[in-house]
Amino acid sequence: MGLFSKLFKGPEIDMAKSDANREKMRALFNQVVENGADYQLIFGYTEDVSRFNYGFVHGSKTKIGNLIVGWKEEDPTVVVVPTVPDLSGCGDPTYYRRSEILKAYRNKYPTDAFIIYPDKKGYIGINAYDWLEDEKLYVYVSQEKELAAFTDFFMNRFATK
């Protein structure tokens, strides 16, 4: 590895911490979602919590809504559970079943987000990335493979035309 790549490479991911947070996410999700183990999980967030019907979870003052997002292939469903960056607790799940939503699509601008309109009154925008550095705002978790699987599911089984 050259000096340039050593100097300008991003911070290393702490896989032990990432794995511990993945386990915490799973435990919280399984607590509030019936048959939670049937779902695959990613961490996501939503930026506009004023439109986000969960509001702030457990007194969080951030303008970011942290989410544990589960999905199930067999019965195309996305379940969103609000949480906080330290994964000390979570709110109630909201289910988005493919057969019951108005529309869903991937929005590329201004941010890359998965948008779900359950009806004409509101929507949720799920932003999800492999890893985010600001642990005060986001759950610390590496999820490259999981995010690729969710993207494939969303685009091929869940998004509306």
117-153 residue pLDDT tens: 998 888 888 999 888 888 888 899 999 999 999 999 9
9-37 residue pLDDT tens: 557 889 999 999 999 999 999 999 999 99
Write the CATH number of the domain with boundaries 11-158: 2.30.29
Complete edge-to-edge strand list for the sheet that includes strand 77-83: 94-97, 77-83, 65-72, 40-46, 124-127, 113-117, 103-107
Element (H, E) at 153: helix 144-153
Domain ranges of the chain: 11-158
Element (H, E) at 4: helix 3-8
41-98 residue pLDDT tens: 999 998 755 544 444 343 444 456 899 999 999 999 999 999 988 999 998 999 999 9
Quote the pTM value: 0.85
